[in-house]
Amino acid sequence: MSALHYPVHWLQRRDLLYRPNIADWQVGIAISNTSILCLPFITQYTGFRGEISCTDPTLQIGKLYMRELVTYIERVPRTKSCSRWKKADILKNLPLPLREAVNPTSWRKCYTLQDIDACMSRVQVMGFNEKKSVFGSLTVTCCSSGYSLGSCNWIIHSEYEKICYISATSTLTTHPKPIDQAPLRNSNVVILSSLTQTPLTNPDSMIGEFCVNAAVTIKNGGNVLVPCYPSGVTYDLFECLSGHLDSCGLSTVPLYFISPISDSTLAYSNIFAEWLSTSKQSKVYLPEPPFPHAELLSLGRLKQFTNIHDVQNDFKCPCVVFTGHPSLRIGDVIHFIELWGKSSANTIIFTEPDFPYLDALGPFQPLQMRVCYCPIDTSLSFSQANKLLKDIRPQHLVVPESYLTPPTSVTQRPDLVINADLSPMSYKQGDVITLPVKRKFECIEIDPKLAATLEPIEVKPGSAITMVNATLVVRDNKYVLQPLNPEDKLAKPFKPRTYIYGTINCKTFVDLLAKQGISDVKLEETEEKAIIELPNDDILIQVENGSTHIMCGGDESVRVKIRDALLQCLQKL
């Protein structure tokens, strides 16, 4: 894989691009620092016109990630681009993994710095638990997912339905604000994704192992190389490693942090107090910087450089170097492998789980350098995910197909799956699935003037009913019922309908007729039927259970009298 393939790899991991009609999307959502990376492809190259929302840290740090990526790629410009190998007949003869590449013709060149700015200027910033209305019919909120600064889970709800998207989430205590579970409860559908990529390792013990390996290497006079991203777990690595080195009496060992955006990410980490864990937050109240790396920086133990060329002047070995890119295809990390790879005293420690480390090292072989693999993935493990699901109890669960069977490498671990008790629906790349959400009710508002005219009738204990004839006003997808305008009452389609119900007591009916002056009445009653005859007016009334038929001559005045008497025997709505 060449460096250019790197961003495409990301695209394939994210399911965003696989909807054919992306230009028609009305809303897009960005989740966390790393999943925002392909956003410029969507905003700049697909005709996507919708709104994009994310949290402030996601916007700022995501932008820095993009800038780092683009800077790295632009440092090694390519004059030639070859695409003929992508043809199906050639492709099938190529070795793995190229042979299995998914749709390589859709692979794109990386975006530019201009694209990043244009893309980011369209993003709207949201805070945790901020309610954002989408066309009046939906509300979107995000709540902390505890994975990284500003990372969040998304909740889309209407008045009666709720869908949650659980993305990169962590229940561990690191630097970000802890996961907020309460908003995820009682949802109709939960879509679960981004579980740990290293289900067999525990991030806590890996961080310990990382520190020990680094310290041992330093003690033996070697250097430590850590390929990393410029934010996220890297902050925790600074904190843990410096503490561990102190306890080993290695406080003088310098830590170098080299990235085109190292200054920005360290500066930003200081100002996101609202998005940090309580213990980090309380430091800001003192006022002290929330992360210990601020102090390391001012003491000169941690040194940041935006360019490898700036390092030369005061580069002291043995040391620990944190630099990108963890794929080992771009960035300053390549220079350090070349520099230190020949000595077995040095160690390269992989902590990012995103790339298979042996493949990453492939082109650099043979290497004398010691290689350690301590993947630190703080996202939910299967057992943590099952525990979370048990707590939030969604009606329906949607997960990627791969979560339903144990990973191929460890088929003997049946616990590494999502609990089948919730009978999850599954999806795979490219699927379009329909979520099992059935809407039954919508919210409508009744104008108080209209409400004042309504007179509900109690038809059963605890149940009252009234008929409503009103003007329906729809604005911003909000429905309001207002009193009818006088002209509407005359308009053609309006036919106010009255509902009558009840059983007729023929005796009462006859009495009422008498009151109207109709006294010449013959009543014949049987079990299920009554016939009332008014011989004077040549009128016949048939009363049955649930229906009445009045047959009369042309004299309207009599008919109206009978009608009114009959209606008095019935209830009206």
Partner 1 sequence: MSEITITPLGAGQDVGRSCILVTIGGKNLMLDCGMHMGFNDDRRFPDFTFITREGRLTEHLDCVIISHFHLDHCGALPYMSEMVGYDGPIYMTHPTKAICPILLEDFRKITVDKKGETNFFTSEMIKTCMKKVKAVNLHEVIQVDDELEIKAYYAGHVLGAAMFHIRVGQQSLVYTGDYNMTPDRHLGAAWIDKCRPDLLITESTYATTIRESKRCRERDFLKKVHDCVENGGKVLIPVFALGRAQELCILLETYWERMNLNIPIYFSLGLTEKANHYYKLFISWTSQKIKQTFVQRNMFEFKHIKPFDRSYIENPGPMVVFATPGMLHAGLSLQVFKKWAPSEQNMVIMPGYCVAGTVGHKVLNGAKKIEIENKQFVEVKLKVEYMSFSAHADAKGIMQLISWCEPKNVLLVHGEAAKMDFLKTKIQQEFGIECFKPANGETVTIETQHNIPVDISLNLLKREASLKGLDVPDPKKARILQGALVMRGNLQLVDPDEALRDLGIKEHNLRFTSTLCIDEAGPAQKLTEKIYMLCKNHMTDQQTQIGSDGSISVSDVMVTTSGEDDDPKSVLVTWSHQDEELGSMLMNILRSELPIVTD
Judged by CB under 8 A, the number of residues near partner 1 is 89
Select from 467, 510, 523, 531 the one that contacts partner 1 (CB under 8 A): 467
496 binds partner 1 (CB under 8 A): yes
- Binding map of partner 1 across residues 509-548, x = CB under 8 A, - = no contact: -------------------------------------xxx
**372: which 2 tokens?**
């350690």
- Binding segment for partner 1 (CB under 8 A), chosen from 77-85, 224-232, 401-409, 445-453, is 445-453
**Would you say 435 or 474 has its CB closer to partner 1?**
474
What does the block give as tokens for 298? Answer: 């001012």
The DSSP letter of residue 479 is E
DSSP state of 407: -
**Smallest separation, CB 373 to partner 1 (Å):** 34
Q: Is 486 in the site for partner 1 (CB under 8 A)?
A: no
Minimum Å gap between C-beta 488 and partner 1 is 6
Q: Does the protein bind partner 1 through residue 366 (CB under 8 A)?
A: no
Least Cβ distance, residue 301 to partner 1 (angstroms): 21
Cis amide linkage into residue 366, ω under 30° from 0: yes
Distance of CA 310 to the CA centre of its chain: 41
Complex with partner 1: residue 122 or 563, whichever CB lies closer: 563
Q: Coil, strand or helix: which one is 382?
A: helix
Using only C-alpha atoms, the chain has a radius of gyration, in whole angstroms, of: 36
Nearer to partner 1, 155 or 369 (CB): 155
Q: Which residue has the tokens 């107090």?
A: 273
Vertex 447: Cα angle to 444 and 451 (nearest 5): 100
- 498 lines the binding site for partner 1 (CB under 8 A): yes
Figure out which of the listed residues 24, 310, 431, 556 binds partner 1, where binding follows CB under 8 A.
Answer: 556
Residues 402-441 that bind partner 1 (CB under 8 A): 439-441
Residues 268-327 touching partner 1, rule: CB under 8 A, are 268, 270-274, 281, 284-285, 287-290
Binders of partner 1 among residues 100 to 159 (CB under 8 A) are 126-131, 141
Least Å from the CB of residue 170 to partner 1: 20
Place of tokens 């420690």: 349
Virtual CA dihedral for 7, 8, 11, 12, nearest 10 degrees?
-140
Give the shortest CB-443-to-partner 1 separation in angstroms.
Answer: 6
Residues 465, 456 contacting (CB under 8 angstroms): yes
Binding residues for partner 1 restricted to 224-263, rule: CB under 8 A: 263
Question: In a 3-state reduction of DSSP, which class is residue 102?
Answer: coil
Q: Tell how strand 224-227 and strand 347-350 pair up.
A: parallel
Residue 217's H or E segment, with its range, is helix 203-219
